[in-house]
Amino acid sequence: MKKAVVLLSGGMDSATALAIARQSGFACYALSIDYGQRHVAELAAAARIGQSLQVSDHQFLKLDLAVLASSALTDLSATVPLHGTSTGIPVTYVPARNTIMLSLALAWAEVLGSHDIFIGVTAVDYSGYPDCRRDYIDAFEEMANLATKAGREGMTLTVHAPLIDLPKREIIQCGMELGIDYGLTVSCYQAGEAGYACGQCDACHIRRAGFKAANIPDPTRYRNKQIS
């Protein structure tokens, strides 16, 4: 089987990307990054998803981006917005996060002899991050093939972003068809250690709206049981 490195955060999008890679016939090698995020419960979710979808290997790397990057996701003194999605790049943007993670995935892919990386970014129903867009993914792929021994020797690497043009509704429908248990995933920016979601942050608003649009019961565990 061909090998693919899959960036697995523990959220619903990365879980769906993993399921798609698996469905496409790849032996999947999951990579999860502890970058100092306040919603560390997503890493436990990533472990559950990796086990559920039977990855060939799952590596967890610790890389404290709080030292370098100021973000509401890494600075516990900052406030996570609770007003829903808005225009512009939000304070939850972590500078260069996807570039750093894709670079780590690229390094592991070259070691594994893999020519494929999967990432669950989406540019439709999302928070407005600049590193979740098609032009960025295309540019990284081009750079990767210039920067690696494998690329220079003609073994072209492909960065797959299978969700990038899909609204959250279609992502959820796709994942359900592939048998994903979205109850295993954590999307909330300020989920507690047990994984219960706040129901108020951007990620919770987008996730809940997606399940509603898909007409599928939301399996998210909320701290406030009145949220549905």
Give the total residue count for the chain. Answer: 228
Provide the pairing of β-strand 158-160 with 116-118. Answer: parallel
Question: Per-residue confidence at 113, pLDDT binned at 50, 70, 90?
Answer: very high
pLDDT of residue 173 exceeding 90, the answer is: yes
Dihedral in degrees, nearest 10, Cα atoms 25, 99, 128, 71: 130
User: Partners of 34 in the beta sheet?
Assistant: 62
Amino acid making up residue 182: Y
pLDDT band at 13 (very low <50, low <70, confident <90, very high): very high
- Pick the range with the lowest mean pLDDT from 16-25, 81-90, 147-156, 190-199: 81-90
Ramachandran angles phi, psi of 5, nearest 5°: -90, 130
Determine which helix (DSSP H) or strand (DSSP E) holds 205, and give its type and residue range: helix 202-214
Q: pLDDT confidence of 206, banded at 50, 70, 90?
A: very high
Cα(104)–Cα(37) distance, rounded to whole angstroms? 17
Tokens of 17: 């990307």
Give the lowest-confidence range in 22-36, 120-134, 207-221.
Answer: 120-134
Beta-bridge partner residues of 33 = 61
Mean pLDDT for the chain overall: 89
Q: Which of 32-41, 76-85, 99-108, 162-171 has the lowest mean pLDDT?
A: 76-85
pLDDT(89) > 80: no
pLDDT for res 96 = 80
Phi, psi at residue 61, to the nearest 5°? -115, 140
Q: Can you tell me which residue has the tokens 């989406």? A: 122
